[in-house]
Amino acid sequence: MANSAKLGHNMTGAQMSPKDTKTMVEIVKRYSADVPGNASDLMNARREMAGEAGRVGSVPVPGSAKGMLKSTFEKMMGKNPEVLIDKLGERLAYERTGVRLYEAMIAKVQALDTGKGADPDLLATLQKIRNEEEEHFHLLVWAVEKLGADPTAVTPSADVAGVIALGVMQVLTDPRTNISHGMNALLTVELADNAAWELLIEMAESAGQKDIAKAFEKAFAQEEKHLATIKSLMRQDQLKQLS
Amino acid sequence: MHGLIGIFDNKGTPLEKQAFTWKELASRPISKLDDDAFTRVRVILMNGLEQDALRLKHFGARFNKSLQLPLAQIRRVEHHQMTAINWLLSSDHSPLETTVAYEQVAIEVTAAVAQNEPDPYQAQTYRYGLLEDFDHLYRYSAMLDRLEGKDANNILQGYTDIIPGRPTSEHHRAPESDLRDNYNKDDAALITKIHAAMITAAEYQTHDYYMNIGPLFADPVARQLYAEIASVEEQHVTQYGSLMDPDESFMEKWLIHEAMEVYAYHSCVEQEDNSRVKAMWERFLDYELGQLNLACDLFKQIERRDPAEILGGSVPRMIEFKSQREFVRKVVAEEVNMRTSGTQYVSKEEESPLSLDYRKQMNAEGVPANIVSAGYNWRPGTELSQNKP
């Protein structure tokens, strides 16, 4: 693993082979597009097929709602309680994945050979965030169970969050990526996480779940710190490399 | 001109010494950015050849109890060779970028083969298929640009043109017009047999790759595009597979396959410039020679014939891993309107009505290759670069 960006024999750019590029551009003039239209054809097809598509999946019916009148359930949790359960499920999955992402980053920092061993302050910071992500996961299990829902189920938004996290996971677990790449990946996680907790508190309040909203405030405060920490670590790392 | 027999004199590494560790199977991958595109071309090609080596031997084993053990022993090694090779592809290749690389393999290797092939009908078949993979590259490049916002030339590195060939929408033929006449095993040159085994193997892997990754795409048009092109790749496997003589015994086909692998590894060793990958080609060339020798011994025991009957003769030259731009352009200019009727190559007007009916049915609800490439003209840095303010 390299620690920073280095000059080398990158083969991807058109300027690497100007003669080839010139002849490739020229032949396109002779053999141009054989189907009329433009990129909007793809957009139109997507629009059309979105109308025919099903859904990712459904929010499981909470155990507490079984046998309960819909009106009673709504009274307890506001209209469309499944919206809150879906988002709680999303955050639960995200935090659970977050633990694993920080573990990957810790391994990356440990692998960095500075000659003096890995940076102990950075490792401690990452370990603290990792532990807090796990606390948040348990907090969300509590919240989902409090609503009588199943914390082991994958809600549609949880599933989609898993798809979003795929790229981040690939970057963090690739042994060739450096600390800066990892920080950048974590920044996308923390930016989204921060906004999501803020919204989740509002949603819990709006659904009349004051206990849950209150319990989430501490997590949100910690997430704000996570974001500030990752932004600052990234800034320090990049500016240090430039100077 | 030189014979493969010279190469075969080398007994290679005995099978019992062909060993791996898990770490070797998943060694350090190539760099998508810094390695030459032809290193990736060789990696993809050799993965396909090993995959087909397994396939052939599995089928052979289903028909022959006494060969099951030696085939299983050789397959174990070949499976690990395949793993070590395929795992050289780095994880930062998106499935669509790898697809672009697969099409580059199909174009550049088939073009090299078409020029080396002494049998005019077989050479015509390679040129025919080449123009279709060439068109697939253009459609997938448009998809890569419009789906991921990436330039296919970052993968192709200036070696391969990105323009329409025979339109994908017209590749869809009735099976009757995908079958080809086969070479005659008693008259055909060794290189003709090697070529047919090699290109069939390469197309088979492309088909299987598209079938595996197609459903990974979320975009509904990308899913359709993979469905459409995978179907054409199945036709290509039919086409190239039928070039081989069905009267060859399993043992004969096995010997040809091993010889083809030796030939291909030898070509890789000669031209590889990544020293780590070259060391892998050298090691596996020695492994293949060991496997070929074992197959020759079994051939002598079972068929009581001299393997030189199958493997004698010369080969023109190794596979040339280089841009075949001028040859491909010539084929585009001269043969893009060629079609088939049964096993024969005909003009567009004479195409089999069975194919036209089949195509009409398949294209009835739209053609994904056309949707993704509508108005697409490749530009360095993606089509968005032409809108420079």
**What residues in B contact A11, CB-CB < 8 Å?**
33-37, 157
Q: How far apart are CA A135 and CA B279, in angstroms?
A: 49
pLDDT at B3 over 60: no
pLDDT at A67 (0 to 100): 59
pLDDT at A171 (0 to 100): 98
For residue A133, the enclosing domain spans 40-242
pLDDT at B315 over 80: no
Q: How far is B221 from chain A (nearest CA, A)?
A: 7
Domain annotation covers residue A90:
yes
Q: How far is A167 from chain B (nearest CA, A)?
A: 10
pLDDT at A155 over 60: yes
Q: How far apart are CA B255 and CA B249, in angstroms?
A: 10
CA A201 from centre of chain: 19
Q: Are B371 and B139 in contact (CB under 8 A)?
A: no
pLDDT tens readout for residues A88-124: 999 999 999 999 999 999 999 999 766 667 788 999 9
Number of domains in chain A: 1
Q: Tell if the CB–CB gap between B34 and A170 is shorter than 8 Å.
A: no
pLDDT at B343 over 70: yes
Looking up tokens 């840095």 gives: B381
Question: Which is more confidently placed, A111 or B41?
Answer: B41
Query: Any CB–CB contact under 8 A between B115 and chain A?
Result: no
Q: How far apart are CA A87 and CA B286, in angstroms?
A: 58
**What residues in A contact B329, CB-CB < 8 Å?**
27
pLDDT tens readout for residues B150-160: 999 999 999 99
Q: Say what the ipTM of the complex is.
A: 0.92
The pLDDT mean for chain B works out to: 96
Domain annotation covers residue A99:
yes
pLDDT at A192 over 50: yes
pLDDT tens readout for residues B354-373: 999 999 999 999 999 999 99
CA A66 from centre of chain: 33
Question: Which is more confidently placed, A69 or A62?
Answer: A62
Q: Tell if the CB–CB gap between A174 and B92 is shorter than 8 Å.
A: yes
Q: What's the pLDDT band for A135 if we cut at 50, 70, 90?
A: very high
Looking at chain B, which runs of residues are DSSP E strands?
2-3, 314-315, 339-341, 344-346
**What residues in A contact B36, CB-CB < 8 Å?**
11
Q: Tell if the CB–CB gap between A45 and B158 is shorter than 8 Å.
A: no
pLDDT at B1 over 60: no
pLDDT tens readout for residues B203-253: 999 999 999 999 999 999 999 999 999 999 999 999 999 999 999 999 999
**What residues in A contact B380, CB-CB < 8 Å?**
14, 21, 24-25
In DSSP notation, A113-165 reads: --SS-S-HHHHHHHHHHHHHHHHHHHHHHHHHHHTT--TTS--HHHHHHHHHH
Q: What's the pLDDT band for B256 if we cut at 50, 70, 90?
A: very high
Domain annotation covers residue A221:
yes
Q: Are A193 and A223 in contact (CB under 8 A)?
A: yes
Q: How far apart are CA B49 and CA B354, in angstroms?
A: 33
Q: How far apart are CA B359 and CA B353, in angstroms?
A: 10
- Provide, rounded to the nearest whole percent, the portion of chain A with pLDDT above 70: 91
**What residues in B contact A27, CB-CB < 8 Å?**
161, 163, 329
- What would the two tokens of residue A6 be? 């280095």
Domain annotation covers residue A32:
no
pLDDT at B389 (0 to 100): 81
- Going by C-alpha positions, the residue among B19, B22, B45, B20 that lies closest to residue B260 is B45
- Going by C-alpha positions, the residue among B187, B204, B262 that lies closest to residue B59 is B204
Lowest mean pLDDT across A49-63, A214-228, B28-42 = A49-63
Q: Tell if the CB–CB gap between A46 and B220 is shorter than 8 Å.
A: yes
Nearest CB to A24: which of B35, B162, B219? Answer: B162
pLDDT at A243 (0 to 100): 83
Residue type, B267: S
Question: Which is more confidently placed, B386 or A186?
Answer: A186
Domain annotation covers residue A171:
yes
Q: How far is A10 from chain B (nearest CA, A)?
A: 4
| 3-class state of residue A195 by DSSP | helix
pLDDT tens readout for residues B283-302: 999 999 999 999 999 999 99
Domain annotation covers residue A15:
no
DSSP secondary-structure letter at B178?
T
Q: Tell if the CB–CB gap between B158 and A14 is shorter than 8 Å.
A: yes
pLDDT tens readout for residues B43-99: 999 999 999 999 999 999 999 999 999 999 999 999 999 999 999 999 999 999 999
Q: How far is B283 from chain A (nearest CA, A)?
A: 25
**What end-to-end distance do the CA atoms of chain B give, in Å?**
56
**What residues in B contact A24, CB-CB < 8 Å?**
153, 158, 161-162, 378, 380
Q: What's the pLDDT band for A74 if we cut at 50, 70, 90?
A: low
pLDDT at A62 (0 to 100): 82
- Going by C-alpha positions, the residue among B259, B223, B240 that lies closest to residue B133 is B240
Q: How far is CA B104 from CA A108, B151, B325, in A?
A: 34, 14, 11
pLDDT tens readout for residues B108-145: 999 999 999 999 999 999 999 999 999 999 999 999 99
pLDDT at A41 (0 to 100): 97
CATH number at residue A190: 1.20.1260.10
Question: Secondary structure of B68-128 in the HEC alphabet?
Answer: HHHHHHHHHHHHHHHHHHHCCCCCCCCHHHHHHHHHHHHHHHHHHHHHHCCCHHHHHHHHH
